[in-house]
Amino acid sequence: MTLTADQIALFKKDGYLIVKDVVSPDLLRAIRGEYDGVMDQLYDDWFAQGLVTDPAEGLDFWAKLDRARAAGVEWFQPLDISLPHADITEDTPFHFGPAVFDLVTHDPILDVVETVLGGELTSNPIQHVRIKPPQRDVPEGETRAHIGVTAWHQDRGVGHPLADETDIITVWIAVTDATVKNGCLRLIPNPPDEMLPHCPQIQTAIPDAHLDQDRAIDAEMTAGSILLIHPLTPHCSGPNTSDGYRWSFDIRYNVSGQNTGRQQFPDFVARSRAQPQTELRDWRTWLGQWEQARTTAATSPHIDQHRWQADSPFCA
């Protein structure tokens, strides 16, 4: 699947593009199945520890997640495809499995990205799963953008300055439908050609004075569709006011050989037209890279993932 000339022009003008039905139904089923297995193991462990009290029999993925969330169990980090921004230990959980690897290396996604960035593509380590419960069920004090509301930001702004000239693109993937009601992404089209100031508020965020929110649009999407986001396009997500969860992944690709913006975490060659033998094809190697990164992070001085300081003048 490649983009048409009109789609490329629209992406360059607007700074975003929705492409429908990119992820195959079979792969979506495999991802859901893989996460079913992860949740089964997690729930059994939580039950054995007395952290949840309802037996697993008869409970599906969402019911188990509901029980864990209601019990105050830390359910998100074991499902994420990254390490947290701080307090990493040698047993900090995460999830890297074959179905998620197949998503990151999914040829239809890479075909679309190649249309924009060319044929030398590295899987960038700034990536997350987002499984957002109804906002009414988000605990008070929960500030992680992967669970609740996501503040306005540019993706360029959440990496290190060494990647400010990197050719990079975010691919936001809908596993469930994304609607205004369940907190789909909002974007401001026609992005600036520079980074806007960000502040380390509840999350790293662009101050309101630097945003024209009247121009914002809602990016509603069906499951299996992807949203391409230019690194300078301001975007956020609203609260999930529905009764169900909203599930997505956001992954990134950059031109191989350029700085990823988070060098302490592993990247890999997802596609190379010039040297296809350099492409990573084994998910277990990917898992091993992240396990090594976790050990290094746990035993080394902390590296901030963001560059912004609260004492900057625009943060006052």
- Cβ pair 274, 120 in contact under 8 A: yes
pTM of the model: 0.96
Hunting for tokens 């169900």 — which residue is that?
A: 244
Give the domain ranges of the chain.
12-304
> Which tens digits make up the pLDDT trace of 235-281?
999 999 999 999 999 999 999 999 999 999 999 999 999 999 999 99
The tens digit of pLDDT for each residue in 24-43 reads: 999 999 999 999 999 999 99
**Domain range 12-304, its CATH number among 3.30.200.20, 2.60.120.620, 3.60.21.10, 3.30.1330.180:** 2.60.120.620
CA-to-CA distance for 84 and 294, rounded, in angstroms? 10
Q: For helices 25-48 and 61-71, what crossing angle results, to 10°?
A: 40
> Which pLDDT belongs to residue 1?
80
Beta bridge partners of 200: 204
Q: What are phi and psi of 8, to 5 degrees?
A: -65, -45
Nearest CA to 20 out of 170, 179, 220 is that of: 220
At 312 the pLDDT is: 65
Q: Which parts of the chain have pLDDT scores under 70?
A: 310-314, 316
The reported pLDDT for the residue numbered 202 is 76
5-14 and 107-117 helices, crossing angle to 10°: 70
CA dihedral of residues 163, 3, 212, 314 (deg, nearest 10): 0
Rounded-to-10 torsion of CA 94, 99, 102, 103: -70
d(CA 48, CA 42): 10
